[in-house]
Protein backbone atom coordinates (compact mmCIF):
# COMPACT_ATOMS: atom_id res chain seq x y z
CA UNK A 1 0.00 0.00 0.00
CA UNK A 2 1.14 3.52 -0.74
CA UNK A 3 0.73 6.91 0.88
CA UNK A 4 -1.88 6.98 3.63
CA UNK A 5 -1.13 3.36 4.64
CA UNK A 6 -0.70 4.27 8.32
CA UNK A 7 -4.04 6.10 8.28
CA UNK A 8 -5.77 3.19 6.53
CA UNK A 9 -4.34 0.75 9.07
CA UNK A 10 -5.49 2.98 11.95
CA UNK A 11 -8.99 2.90 10.43
CA UNK A 12 -8.84 -0.88 10.10
CA UNK A 13 -9.00 -0.76 6.29
CA UNK A 14 -7.29 -3.48 4.27
CA UNK A 15 -7.81 -5.42 1.03
CA UNK A 16 -10.84 -7.24 2.42
CA UNK A 17 -12.61 -4.08 3.57
CA UNK A 18 -15.55 -2.65 1.64
CA UNK A 19 -16.14 1.09 1.29
CA UNK A 20 -19.23 2.54 -0.37
CA UNK A 21 -19.02 6.01 -1.92
CA UNK A 22 -22.25 7.70 -3.04
CA UNK A 23 -21.32 10.13 -5.82
CA UNK A 24 -17.88 8.51 -5.79
CA UNK A 25 -17.52 7.82 -9.50
CA UNK A 26 -17.19 11.52 -10.30
CA UNK A 27 -15.69 14.78 -9.09
CA UNK A 28 -13.85 15.23 -5.82
CA UNK A 29 -15.20 11.99 -4.34
CA UNK A 30 -13.57 9.99 -7.14
CA UNK A 31 -10.32 11.57 -5.96
CA UNK A 32 -10.99 10.40 -2.41
CA UNK A 33 -11.83 6.90 -3.67
CA UNK A 34 -8.40 6.84 -5.36
CA UNK A 35 -6.76 7.84 -2.08
CA UNK A 36 -8.53 5.00 -0.27
CA UNK A 37 -7.45 2.58 -3.01
CA UNK A 38 -3.82 3.68 -2.84
CA UNK A 39 -3.78 3.54 0.95
CA UNK A 40 -5.55 0.22 1.50
CA UNK A 41 -6.57 -1.48 -1.80
CA UNK A 42 -10.00 -1.96 -0.25
CA UNK A 43 -13.03 -2.98 -2.33
CA UNK A 44 -14.83 0.06 -3.61
CA UNK A 45 -18.54 0.30 -4.40
CA UNK A 46 -19.54 3.45 -6.27
CA UNK A 47 -23.10 4.71 -6.63
CA UNK A 48 -24.42 7.65 -8.67
CA UNK A 49 -27.34 8.71 -10.84
CA UNK A 50 -25.73 8.38 -14.27
CA UNK A 51 -26.63 5.10 -16.01
CA UNK A 52 -23.62 2.76 -16.01
CA UNK A 53 -21.68 2.66 -19.28
CA UNK A 54 -22.65 -0.54 -21.10
CA UNK A 55 -19.70 -0.91 -23.47
CA UNK A 56 -17.18 1.00 -25.53
CA UNK A 57 -18.33 4.36 -26.89
CA UNK A 58 -19.49 4.45 -30.54
CA UNK A 59 -16.74 5.38 -33.01
CA UNK A 60 -18.79 8.43 -34.06
CA UNK A 61 -18.12 10.19 -30.73
CA UNK A 62 -15.10 8.36 -29.29
CA UNK A 63 -12.60 10.57 -31.10
CA UNK A 64 -14.23 13.82 -29.89
CA UNK A 65 -12.22 14.97 -26.87
CA UNK A 66 -13.53 18.43 -25.96
CA UNK A 67 -17.21 19.24 -25.22
CA UNK A 68 -17.26 21.40 -28.39
CA UNK A 69 -15.94 18.52 -30.55
CA UNK A 70 -18.42 16.16 -28.89
CA UNK A 71 -21.42 18.41 -29.62
CA UNK A 72 -20.27 18.76 -33.24
CA UNK A 73 -19.99 14.95 -33.59
CA UNK A 74 -23.46 14.47 -32.08
CA UNK A 75 -24.98 17.21 -34.27
CA UNK A 76 -23.60 15.44 -37.36
CA UNK A 77 -25.27 12.18 -36.26
CA UNK A 78 -28.49 10.71 -37.70
CA UNK A 79 -31.93 12.28 -37.15
CA UNK A 80 -30.89 15.96 -36.87
CA UNK A 81 -31.06 16.05 -33.04
CA UNK A 82 -32.28 19.25 -31.33
CA UNK A 83 -29.75 21.38 -29.38
CA UNK A 84 -31.26 20.30 -26.01
CA UNK A 85 -30.92 16.62 -27.01
CA UNK A 86 -27.33 17.22 -28.10
CA UNK A 87 -26.52 18.86 -24.76
CA UNK A 88 -28.13 15.99 -22.84
CA UNK A 89 -26.31 13.35 -24.89
CA UNK A 90 -22.98 15.19 -24.52
CA UNK A 91 -23.42 15.46 -20.74
CA UNK A 92 -24.20 11.74 -20.50
CA UNK A 93 -21.17 10.75 -22.60
CA UNK A 94 -18.84 12.96 -20.52
CA UNK A 95 -20.28 11.58 -17.26
CA UNK A 96 -19.88 7.99 -18.45
CA UNK A 97 -16.33 8.68 -19.59
CA UNK A 98 -15.54 10.00 -16.12
CA UNK A 99 -17.04 6.87 -14.51
CA UNK A 100 -14.97 4.63 -16.82
CA UNK A 101 -11.83 6.62 -15.97
CA UNK A 102 -12.52 6.34 -12.22
CA UNK A 103 -12.98 2.57 -12.41
CA UNK A 104 -9.72 2.24 -14.40
CA UNK A 105 -7.87 4.43 -11.87
CA UNK A 106 -9.12 2.44 -8.88
CA UNK A 107 -8.23 -0.86 -10.55
CA UNK A 108 -4.76 0.49 -11.34
CA UNK A 109 -4.33 1.36 -7.64
CA UNK A 110 -5.12 -2.27 -6.76
CA UNK A 111 -8.75 -2.00 -5.65
CA UNK A 112 -11.63 -4.09 -6.95
CA UNK A 113 -14.18 -1.43 -7.96
CA UNK A 114 -17.73 -1.43 -9.27
CA UNK A 115 -20.22 1.24 -10.27
CA UNK A 116 -23.98 1.07 -10.31
CA UNK A 117 -26.69 3.61 -10.91
CA UNK A 118 -28.89 4.47 -7.92
CA UNK A 119 -30.77 7.75 -7.50
CA UNK A 120 -30.56 8.59 -3.79
CA UNK A 121 -33.84 10.47 -3.94
CA UNK A 122 -35.50 7.09 -4.47
CA UNK A 123 -35.59 5.60 -0.99
CA UNK A 124 -36.53 2.04 -1.92
CA UNK A 125 -33.72 1.83 -4.49
CA UNK A 126 -31.25 3.01 -1.83
CA UNK A 127 -32.44 0.47 0.75
CA UNK A 128 -32.17 -2.29 -1.84
CA UNK A 129 -28.70 -1.31 -3.12
CA UNK A 130 -27.10 -0.98 0.33
CA UNK A 131 -28.65 -4.26 1.45
CA UNK A 132 -27.35 -6.05 -1.65
CA UNK A 133 -23.83 -4.66 -1.29
CA UNK A 134 -23.67 -5.73 2.35
CA UNK A 135 -25.13 -9.17 1.57
CA UNK A 136 -22.68 -9.77 -1.26
CA UNK A 137 -19.55 -8.97 0.76
CA UNK A 138 -20.86 -9.79 4.22
CA UNK A 139 -19.54 -6.43 5.48
CA UNK A 140 -19.50 -2.68 4.99
CA UNK A 141 -16.55 -0.91 6.62
CA UNK A 142 -16.98 2.69 5.57
CA UNK A 143 -19.46 4.94 3.80
CA UNK A 144 -19.01 8.30 2.09
CA UNK A 145 -22.15 10.21 1.13
CA UNK A 146 -21.23 12.90 -1.41
CA UNK A 147 -24.29 13.16 -3.65
CA UNK A 148 -25.06 16.79 -4.38
CA UNK A 149 -26.18 19.20 -7.05
CA UNK A 150 -26.14 22.99 -7.37
CA UNK A 151 -28.58 25.27 -9.18
CA UNK A 152 -27.26 28.66 -8.06
CA UNK A 153 -29.69 31.59 -8.23
CA UNK A 154 -30.66 34.48 -6.00
CA UNK A 155 -33.61 33.61 -3.72
CA UNK A 156 -36.00 35.87 -5.68
CA UNK A 157 -35.27 33.88 -8.85
CA UNK A 158 -35.42 30.42 -7.30
CA UNK A 159 -38.40 28.12 -7.84
CA UNK A 160 -39.68 25.75 -5.13
CA UNK A 161 -38.93 22.83 -7.50
CA UNK A 162 -35.30 23.91 -7.91
CA UNK A 163 -34.94 24.40 -4.13
CA UNK A 164 -36.33 20.90 -3.56
CA UNK A 165 -33.93 19.32 -6.07
CA UNK A 166 -30.89 20.86 -4.40
CA UNK A 167 -32.12 20.44 -0.81
CA UNK A 168 -33.69 17.00 -1.30
CA UNK A 169 -30.67 15.44 -3.00
CA UNK A 170 -28.70 15.91 0.21
CA UNK A 171 -31.41 15.53 2.86
CA UNK A 172 -33.65 12.81 1.39
CA UNK A 173 -30.50 11.05 0.13
CA UNK A 174 -28.83 11.04 3.53
CA UNK A 175 -32.07 10.04 5.30
CA UNK A 176 -32.42 7.07 2.92
CA UNK A 177 -28.81 6.11 3.51
CA UNK A 178 -29.20 6.17 7.30
CA UNK A 179 -32.38 4.08 7.05
CA UNK A 180 -30.44 1.57 4.92
CA UNK A 181 -27.58 1.46 7.44
CA UNK A 182 -30.08 0.94 10.29
CA UNK A 183 -31.22 -2.25 8.53
CA UNK A 184 -27.72 -3.78 8.45
CA UNK A 185 -26.56 -6.23 11.14
CA UNK A 186 -23.62 -3.93 11.98
CA UNK A 187 -22.84 -0.32 11.16
CA UNK A 188 -19.77 0.83 9.20
CA UNK A 189 -16.80 2.02 11.27
CA UNK A 190 -17.15 5.47 9.73
CA UNK A 191 -19.71 7.43 7.75
CA UNK A 192 -18.56 10.65 6.11
CA UNK A 193 -20.95 13.25 4.70
CA UNK A 194 -19.61 15.76 2.17
CA UNK A 195 -20.95 19.17 3.19
CA UNK A 196 -19.89 22.64 2.15
CA UNK A 197 -18.38 25.78 3.63
CA UNK A 198 -21.51 27.45 2.23
CA UNK A 199 -23.41 25.81 5.14
CA UNK A 200 -21.07 27.47 7.64
CA UNK A 201 -20.49 30.90 6.14
CA UNK A 202 -23.18 31.23 3.45
CA UNK A 203 -22.65 31.92 -0.25
CA UNK A 204 -24.41 34.20 -2.74
CA UNK A 205 -26.91 32.28 -4.86
CA UNK A 206 -26.66 29.16 -2.68
CA UNK A 207 -29.41 29.56 -0.02
CA UNK A 208 -30.77 26.11 -0.93
CA UNK A 209 -27.35 24.47 -1.06
CA UNK A 210 -26.26 26.09 2.23
CA UNK A 211 -29.47 24.93 3.95
CA UNK A 212 -29.04 21.44 2.51
CA UNK A 213 -25.50 21.05 3.82
CA UNK A 214 -26.43 22.47 7.22
CA UNK A 215 -29.33 19.98 7.43
CA UNK A 216 -26.97 17.21 6.31
CA UNK A 217 -24.75 17.86 9.32
CA UNK A 218 -27.80 17.78 11.64
CA UNK A 219 -29.04 14.50 10.13
CA UNK A 220 -25.59 12.96 10.60
CA UNK A 221 -25.26 14.20 14.18
CA UNK A 222 -28.74 12.92 15.10
CA UNK A 223 -28.06 9.51 13.59
CA UNK A 224 -24.74 9.31 15.44
CA UNK A 225 -26.41 10.30 18.74
CA UNK A 226 -29.20 7.76 18.24
CA UNK A 227 -27.02 4.82 17.17
CA UNK A 228 -23.64 5.55 18.77
CA UNK A 229 -21.99 5.28 15.33
CA UNK A 230 -19.44 7.67 13.90
CA UNK A 231 -20.78 10.25 11.42
CA UNK A 232 -18.58 13.13 10.31
CA UNK A 233 -19.67 15.98 8.05
CA UNK A 234 -16.79 17.66 6.23
CA UNK A 235 -17.73 21.17 5.15
CA UNK A 236 -15.33 21.64 2.25
CA UNK A 237 -14.11 24.90 0.81
CA UNK A 238 -13.89 24.90 -3.00
CA UNK A 239 -11.59 22.34 -4.65
CA UNK A 240 -9.41 22.86 -7.70
CA UNK A 241 -10.51 20.67 -10.64
CA UNK A 242 -8.12 17.85 -11.56
CA UNK A 243 -7.94 15.88 -14.80
CA UNK A 244 -11.33 14.47 -15.74
CA UNK A 245 -12.59 15.01 -12.18
CA UNK A 246 -13.64 18.63 -12.44
CA UNK A 247 -16.32 18.57 -9.73
CA UNK A 248 -18.66 21.48 -9.04
CA UNK A 249 -16.13 24.29 -9.41
CA UNK A 250 -16.32 25.01 -13.13
CA UNK A 251 -14.37 27.69 -14.98
CA UNK A 252 -16.84 30.50 -14.18
CA UNK A 253 -17.03 29.71 -10.45
CA UNK A 254 -13.24 29.31 -10.39
CA UNK A 255 -12.82 32.85 -11.79
CA UNK A 256 -15.28 34.21 -9.21
CA UNK A 257 -13.29 32.61 -6.35
CA UNK A 258 -10.04 33.98 -7.82
CA UNK A 259 -11.63 37.46 -7.95
CA UNK A 260 -12.57 37.15 -4.25
CA UNK A 261 -9.11 35.87 -3.35
CA UNK A 262 -10.47 32.46 -2.27
CA UNK A 263 -7.84 29.76 -2.85
CA UNK A 264 -8.90 26.30 -4.05
CA UNK A 265 -8.13 23.05 -2.22
CA UNK A 266 -5.40 21.00 -3.86
CA UNK A 267 -7.04 17.59 -4.49
CA UNK A 268 -4.03 15.62 -3.19
CA UNK A 269 -4.02 17.66 0.01
CA UNK A 270 -7.83 17.54 0.37
CA UNK A 271 -8.00 13.77 0.17
CA UNK A 272 -4.98 13.30 2.46
CA UNK A 273 -6.51 15.72 4.98
CA UNK A 274 -9.76 13.74 5.11
CA UNK A 275 -7.93 10.46 5.57
CA UNK A 276 -5.88 12.01 8.41
CA UNK A 277 -9.04 13.41 10.01
CA UNK A 278 -10.69 9.98 9.92
CA UNK A 279 -7.63 8.18 11.25
CA UNK A 280 -6.44 10.56 13.96
CA UNK A 281 -9.38 12.93 14.57
CA UNK A 282 -11.67 12.65 17.59
CA UNK A 283 -14.44 10.17 16.57
CA UNK A 284 -16.92 12.18 18.67
CA UNK A 285 -16.48 15.26 16.44
CA UNK A 286 -19.51 15.60 14.16
CA UNK A 287 -18.37 18.32 11.72
CA UNK A 288 -15.18 19.93 10.49
CA UNK A 289 -14.42 22.69 7.98
CA UNK A 290 -11.58 22.01 5.56
CA UNK A 291 -10.61 24.95 3.40
CA UNK A 292 -7.52 26.31 1.68
CA UNK A 293 -8.12 29.94 2.62
CA UNK A 294 -10.58 32.42 4.04
CA UNK A 295 -14.00 32.99 2.50
N1 LIG B 1 -16.08 20.51 -5.62
C2 LIG B 1 -16.08 21.31 -4.58
O3 LIG B 1 -15.34 22.29 -4.55
C4 LIG B 1 -16.98 21.05 -3.39
C5 LIG B 1 -16.94 21.99 -2.34
C6 LIG B 1 -17.77 21.79 -1.24
C7 LIG B 1 -18.57 20.67 -1.17
N8 LIG B 1 -18.59 19.78 -2.21
C9 LIG B 1 -19.47 18.62 -2.07
O10 LIG B 1 -18.81 17.46 -2.47
C11 LIG B 1 -19.70 16.56 -3.13
C12 LIG B 1 -19.15 16.20 -4.50
O13 LIG B 1 -19.07 17.37 -5.28
P14 LIG B 1 -18.28 17.47 -6.66
O15 LIG B 1 -17.69 18.82 -6.75
O16 LIG B 1 -17.41 16.30 -6.83
O17 LIG B 1 -19.49 17.46 -7.70
P18 LIG B 1 -19.88 16.45 -8.85
O19 LIG B 1 -18.71 16.12 -9.68
O20 LIG B 1 -21.04 17.09 -9.50
O21 LIG B 1 -20.32 15.16 -8.07
C22 LIG B 1 -21.58 15.04 -7.48
C23 LIG B 1 -21.89 13.58 -7.40
O24 LIG B 1 -23.16 13.41 -6.78
C25 LIG B 1 -23.91 12.48 -7.54
N26 LIG B 1 -25.34 12.70 -7.37
C27 LIG B 1 -26.05 13.84 -7.56
N28 LIG B 1 -27.35 13.63 -7.33
C29 LIG B 1 -27.47 12.33 -6.98
C30 LIG B 1 -28.55 11.51 -6.63
N31 LIG B 1 -29.81 11.98 -6.58
N32 LIG B 1 -28.31 10.21 -6.35
C33 LIG B 1 -27.06 9.71 -6.40
N34 LIG B 1 -25.99 10.44 -6.72
C35 LIG B 1 -26.19 11.73 -7.01
C36 LIG B 1 -23.47 12.73 -8.96
O37 LIG B 1 -23.79 11.62 -9.76
P38 LIG B 1 -24.29 11.85 -11.28
O39 LIG B 1 -23.37 12.88 -11.86
O40 LIG B 1 -24.17 10.52 -11.87
O41 LIG B 1 -25.68 12.37 -11.16
C42 LIG B 1 -21.98 12.92 -8.77
O43 LIG B 1 -21.33 11.69 -8.75
C44 LIG B 1 -21.05 17.27 -3.19
O45 LIG B 1 -21.86 16.79 -2.17
C46 LIG B 1 -20.70 18.72 -2.94
O47 LIG B 1 -21.77 19.38 -2.28
C48 LIG B 1 -17.82 19.96 -3.31
DSSP state of 154: -
Which range of residues forms the domain containing residue 116? 5-290
pLDDT for residue 3: 85
- The 3 state secondary structure assigned to 216-258 is HHHHHHHHHHHHCCCEEEEEECCECCECCECCCCCHHHHHHHH
Structurally, how many domains does the chain consist of? 1
- Domain with 171 in it: what CATH number? 3.40.50.720
Q: Is residue 254 part of a domain?
A: yes
**Ligand 1 mean position to 181 CA, how many Å?**
21
Residue 96 pairs in a beta bridge with: none
Q: How confident is the model at residue 185 (pLDDT cuts 50, 70, 90)?
A: very high
**Ligand 1 mean position to 147 CA, how many Å?**
4
Indicate whether 17 pLDDT > 70.
yes
Q: Is residue 295 part of a domain?
A: no
pLDDT tens string 148-175? 999 999 999 999 999 999 999 999 999 9
pLDDT tens string 67-112? 899 999 999 988 778 999 999 999 999 999 999 999 999 999 999 9
pLDDT tens string 194-244? 999 999 999 999 999 999 999 999 999 999 999 999 999 999 999 999 888
Ligand 1 pocket test, pick from 22, 27, 198, 208 with the greatest ligand atom count within 8 Å of Cβ, gives 27
**Ligand 1 mean position to 208 CA, how many Å?**
15
pLDDT tens string 236-285? 999 999 888 999 998 888 898 999 999 999 999 999 999 999 999 999 99
DSSP state of 107: H
Percent of the chain with pLDDT over 90: 89
In contact, 10 and 231? CB cutoff 8 Å: no
pLDDT for residue 78: 80
Bigger pLDDT: 3 or 28?
28
In angstroms, the Cα distances linking 107 to 101, 132, 141, 272 are 10, 22, 19, 19
DSSP state of 142: E
Going by alpha carbons, the residue nearest to atom 5 of ligand 1 is: 238
Q: Is residue 114 part of a domain?
A: yes
pLDDT for residue 1: 43
**Ligand 1 mean position to 79 CA, how many Å?**
33
In contact, 262 and 295? CB cutoff 8 Å: yes
- CB-based pocket (< 6 A), ligand 1: 22-23, 25-29, 48-50, 95, 119-121, 146-149, 169, 173, 194, 196, 236, 238-239, 247-249
Q: Is residue 188 part of a domain?
A: yes
Amino acid sequence: AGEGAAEAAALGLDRDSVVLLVGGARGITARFAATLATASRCRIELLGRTPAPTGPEPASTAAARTPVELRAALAAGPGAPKPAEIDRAARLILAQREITTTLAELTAHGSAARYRSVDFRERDAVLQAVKEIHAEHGRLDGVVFAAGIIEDRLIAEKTPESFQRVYGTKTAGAAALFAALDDLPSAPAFTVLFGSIAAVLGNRGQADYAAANDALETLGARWAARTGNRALTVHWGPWAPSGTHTGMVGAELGREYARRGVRLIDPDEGTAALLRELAWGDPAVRAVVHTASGW
